[in-house]
Chain A
Amino acid sequence: MKKSTFLFALLMASAGLFAQTKKTTSATILFDASTPADPVAKAESKTVIAALDVKTGTVAFEAAVKNFSFENKKVEEHFNAERWLNSEKYPKFSFKGKIDDLKKVNFNKDGTYTVSVAGDLTIKETTKAITAPATITITAGRISATSDFLVNLPDFSVMADGKKVSKEAKVTVTANLN
Chain B
Amino acid sequence: MHEQQSGRFSKYSSLLSAIAIIVCFFLPWVKWINVPVSARDMATGNFYTLSETNFAITNPFPEMIFVNGIFWLIPALSIVAILIVFFRKTFAGIYGAFAGAMVLGLGVVYALFTNELQLFDTNIQLGNALQPAFYVAVFSAIWLIITSWQKKWLWKVFFLMAPLGLSYLAFNQIKESEVSEKTAATSTLKVAYTIDALKLINEFVTADSASNATYREKIMVVEGQVSELNASDAGATLSMADSTGSYVIFDFEKADSKIVQAIKAGDRVSVKGVCSGSIYSDILETQTISFKQSIIYSKK
Contact = CB atoms under 8 A, between A and B. Distances in A.
Interface residues of A, number: 45
Interface stretch (B80-88, B158-166, B287-295): B287-295
A77 B179 contact: no
A92 B122 CA distance: 24
B122 A81 contact: no
A27 to B, nearest CB: 10
A25 B58 CA distance: 34
B283 A161 contact: no
B283 A60 contact: yes
Interface in B215-249: 216-217, 228, 230, 235-237, 239, 247, 249
B120 A78 contact: yes
Interface in A67-114: 67-78, 80-84, 91-92, 94
B203 interface: no
Contact of B55 (A73, A83, A160): A83
A62 B178 CA distance: 31
Contacts of A26: 228, 230, 237, 249
Interface stretch (B64-72, B95-103, B180-188): B180-188
Contacts of A46: 235-237, 251
Interface string B263-278: 0000000000000111
A115 interface: no
B183 A76 contact: yes
Contacts of A151: none
B281 interface: yes
A64 B282 CA distance: 12
B240 to A, nearest CB: 12
B120 A83 contact: yes
B281 A47 contact: no
Nearest to A81: B56
B217 to A, nearest CB: 8
Q: Give the dominant DSSP class at A's interface.
A: mixed
Contacts of A170: none
Contact of B279 (A40, A84, A92, A161): A92
A159 interface: yes
B283 A69 contact: no
Contact of A78 (B56, B251, B277): B56
A31 to B, nearest CB: 14
A165 interface: yes
Contacts of B284: 23, 25, 49
A124 interface: no
A73 B177 CA distance: 12
B119 interface: yes
B118 interface: yes
B251 A45 contact: yes
A159 B283 contact: no
A83 B121 contact: yes
Contacts of A82: 56
A48 to B, nearest CB: 10
22 contacts: A25-B249, A26-B228, A26-B237, A45-B251, A45-B292, A49-B281, A61-B283, A62-B279, A62-B281, A64-B277, A66-B290, A67-B290, A72-B180, A72-B181, A76-B183, A78-B119, A81-B55, A81-B120, A83-B120, A83-B121, A159-B121, A164-B119
Interface of A: 23, 25-26, 28, 38, 40, 45-47, 49-51, 60-62, 64, 66-78, 80-84, 91-92, 94, 154, 159-162, 164-165, 176
Given A64-B279, A78-B120, A91-B277, 20 more contacts: A23-B284, A26-B228, A47-B249, A47-B290, A49-B288, A50-B283, A66-B216, A66-B276, A67-B290, A69-B183, A69-B251, A71-B183, A72-B181, A72-B182, A81-B120, A94-B282, A154-B122, A161-B119, A161-B122, A176-B230
The 3 closest A-B pairs by CB, nearest first: A81-B56, A66-B276, A67-B290
